[in-house]
A and B are shown apart, each in its own frame.
Chain A
Amino acid sequence: MSKKLRIATTSLAGCFGCHMSLLDIDERLFPLLDLIEFDRSPLTDIKHCGPCDIGLIEGGICNAENVHVLHEFRKNCKILIAIGSCAITGGLPAQRNHLDLGSCLTEVYLTEPGLAHGHIPNDPELPLPLDKVHPLHEVVKIDYFIPGCPPSGDAIWKFLTDLIAGRTPELGHGLIKYD
């Protein structure tokens, strides 16, 4: 067996549901780990991405930090995969796209009852939100997409094993879903 494929994963404007689904492949994680090893990922806590074969990105782009991380992945990963509705369409966070960002922040932090004495967070450590939420493919080239909110463990397994075996990944009825 040649050397293991190196895979990096991250969650941008996502909910970690896709990562949970990745863990849902359950005991198949063991055969998978014979084929791959993880680089930067919430599973390893490695903070920056080194050269990788595959990057798996959950979540869309909603703030400046997301853009930097996405570029880091694109620079280091030979194959970049958008996983889940948010990475592919913007998803739930993009439901604010037809609203003005300023009025969203005002309503949530200032005028909404219960937070009347709040203030709009302005800590310099916080990444600035973008005017609109974007799917990944609007910012960098994405090679593959695994749809679903989240895609099932079975769908992720099928997709990754197809890809690793050199087949064109196909989901087919029952595994392909957008919800």
Chain B
Amino acid sequence: MSDTFQLDGASVPFEPGQTVMQAALAAGHYIPHLCYHPEFKPHGSCKLCTVKVGGRTAASCTMPAEVGLNVESNIEEMNGLRRTLVQMLFAEGNHFCPSCEKSGNCMLQALGYDLEVHTAGFRHLYPDRPVDASHPDILLDFNRCILCELCVRASSEVDGKNVFALSGRGITKHLIVNAESGLLKDTDIALTDKAMQVCPVGVILPKRVGFSVPIGKRRYDQRPISAQALDDAPRQADASGSCAACEGTP
């Protein structure tokens, strides 16, 4: 008999070393998340996965599972916090969904839908973030970056290339390309890299394949993200190196 904790009144079994998120997903319980990806070490930056444990809030993707924890996730108090986080992400970047190739396959957008976010609410910052179209096969649209560092982690841990990094602090924090010119064309990134598959939003895009899936047939047109995240858990890569959760894989 394995150890358990309580999640929204349900008993969740866990293995030693698992986080609350890992155990919850493995047991078929969805906790909203954005920067968490089962194939990578948790980063704990977006805070979308925040839950209430014993009266305090904690990021469930980094919190170790423990016997007897009483975790509250799907409660209005937490969903309200998540709504605000999603709103801030929309206000901080330039998310013009009607012209975005990732629309319909985007985790940020899908979370907005699931949480019934009707407006960013805040004053939009409209930052000036020129795109990098220098690479023949890959477009970088920084306007949509949510700084989750998944591409940074994938490029260094899986591809062994270190193509991406985050630079700056606070509101000036931004994604950079590790090349003297700062341009993607001067890196050794390839379409087959893991870094091409992990971006939850529409930043790292293979060229010439956009909008190939019609509206109504895209991933989150079908079912809400809360109903699909479980299909991905634990989102193991299949033999081809692609995983169900990674959109835009050519």
Residues of A near any B CB (own CB < 8 A)? 82, 85, 88-92, 94-95, 97-98, 132, 135, 137-138, 142, 144-147, 149, 170-174, 176-179
Chain B residue nearest to A98 (CB atoms) is B128
Query: Are A147 and B126 in touch, CB under 8 angstroms?
Result: no
Query: For chain B, which range describes its interface: under 10, 10 to 19, 20 to 34, or 35 or more residues?
Result: 20 to 34
Query: Are A178 and B112 in touch, CB under 8 angstroms?
Result: yes
Q: Which of B98, B99, B116, B121 has the most CB of A within 10 A?
A: B98
Bound form: Cα–Cα A179–B109 in Å: 10
Bound form: Cα–Cα A165–B87 in Å: 28
Which one, B98, B121, B126, B129, contacts A178 given CB within 8 A? B98
Query: Are A137 and B116 in touch, CB under 8 angstroms?
Result: no
Q: Is B223 an interface residue (CB 8 A)?
A: yes
> Shortest distance in angstroms between B61's beta carbon and chain A's nearest beta carbon?
24
User: Which residues in A have their C-beta under 8 angstroms from that of B223?
Assistant: 173
Contact A82 B97, CB 8 Å, known A98-B128, A173-B224, A176-B113: no
Which one, B98, B116, B118, contacts A92 given CB within 8 A? B98
Query: Are A179 and B103 in touch, CB under 8 angstroms?
Result: yes
User: Which residues in A have their C-beta under 8 angstroms from that of B96?
Assistant: 85, 89, 91-92, 94-95
The B91-136 residues at the A interface (CB cut-off 8 A) are 94-100, 103-104, 109, 112-114, 116, 118-121, 123-124, 126-129
Query: Are A173 and B113 in touch, CB under 8 angstroms?
Result: yes
Chain A residue nearest to B115 (CB atoms) is A176
Query: Are B116 and A171 in touch, CB under 8 angstroms?
Result: yes
User: Which residues in A have their C-beta under 8 angstroms from that of B221?
Assistant: 174
Q: What does the 1/0 interface line of B66-95 toward A look like (CB < 8 Å)?
A: 000000000000000000000000100011
Query: Are A145 and B119 in touch, CB under 8 angstroms?
Result: yes
7 pairs across A/B with beta carbons < 8 Å? A89-B90, A146-B118, A170-B116, A173-B223, A176-B118, A179-B97, A179-B104
Bound form: Cα–Cα A178–B223 in Å: 16
